């Protein structure tokens, strides 16, 4: 923003208080996803700190791979946690993403209530980022838990990323500050015929911190064994 414009806004804010012009969205710190294309798509350089973000999409859309890349990136800066409700997380796959496994906590709760209780405790204890892998069939009761969880997350300045198997329901849509919807546009195969990755189409369907509606397409390579 030009200095003259910023000075004018400051003068108006001093004279008129809440009636003065203000930026459309407050500045929000972000945590890089570790994926340049995804960071650019969010409009703030990554996942917002102290808020809930959602990666939505059908199975095979690449959302879990992207989420785990984000966890891997965050683990190089501090402690992270992965709430694994489906029980499918593979630490070996994470290690191939250069995850600091000594900074990763894996939680396998039996219910959504247990999962949300874990999020509250971990956020309060200083975990920088928490990914929650929530299949659609396990989402019952989430709407009652989210307000309490997000209050704790905001206080702790913890980044929370929810991975969901389909489009978000009303409760998640309401509480999420950022929703990125993914679709797989193609599989990527090597010359030997082995599966090497996936081509994803991503759309920001909700963004409280930057303009929504941004779209991007990029290749997500699987880590080499």
- Domain-embedded: residue 88: yes
- Domain-embedded: residue 9: no
The tally of domains found in the chain comes to 1
Distance CA 167, CA 165 (A): 7
* Residue 97: per-residue pLDDT: 95
- Domain-embedded: residue 14: no
Determine the structural domain holding residue 114 and report its residue range: 28-221
- Domain-embedded: residue 11: no
* Residue 16: per-residue pLDDT: 77
188 or 137: which leads in pLDDT = 188
- Domain-embedded: residue 182: yes
- Domain-embedded: residue 158: yes
Reported as a single tens digit per residue, the pLDDT across 44-85 is 999 999 999 999 998 889 999 999 999 999 999 999 999 999
Across the chain, what does the average pLDDT equal?
A: 90
- Domain-embedded: residue 136: yes
* Residue 166: per-residue pLDDT: 60
- Domain-embedded: residue 41: yes
* Residue 77: per-residue pLDDT: 96
Closest among 70, 99, 67 to 84, alpha carbons compared = 67
Residue 67 sits in a domain whose CATH number is: 3.40.50.300
| Residues forming a β-bridge with 160 | 52, 130
* Residue 225 pLDDT greater than 60, yes or no: no
């Amino acid at each position: 923003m030009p200095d003259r414009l910023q000075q004018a806004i400051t003068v108006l804010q001093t004279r008129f208080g809440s009636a003065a012009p203000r930026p459309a969205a407050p500045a929000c710190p972000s945590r890089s996803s570790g994926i340049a294309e995804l960071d650019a798509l969010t409009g703030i350089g990554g996942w917002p700190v102290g808020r809930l973000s959602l990666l939505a999409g059908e199975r095979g859309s690449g959302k879990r791979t992207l989420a785990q890349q984000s966890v891997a990136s965050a683990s190089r800066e501090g402690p992270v946690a992965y709430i694994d409700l489906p029980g499918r997380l593979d630490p070996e796959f994470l290690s191939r993403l250069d995850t600091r496994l000594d900074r990763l906590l894996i939680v396998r709760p039996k219910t959504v209530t247990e999962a949300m209780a874990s999020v509250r405790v971990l956020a309060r204890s200083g975990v920088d980022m928490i990914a929650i892998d929530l299949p659609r069939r396990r989402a019952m009761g989430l709407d009652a838990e989210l307000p309490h969880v997000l209050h704790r997350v905001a206080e702790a300045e913890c980044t929370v990323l929810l991975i969901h198997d389909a489009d978000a329901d009303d409760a998640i849509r309401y509480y999420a500050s950022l929703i990125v919807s993914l679709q797989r546009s193609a599989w990527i195969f090597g010359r030997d015929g082995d599966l090497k990755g996936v081509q994803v189409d991503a759309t920001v369907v909700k963004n409280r911190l930057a303009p929504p509606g941004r779209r991007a397409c990029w290749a997500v390579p699987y880590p080499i064994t």
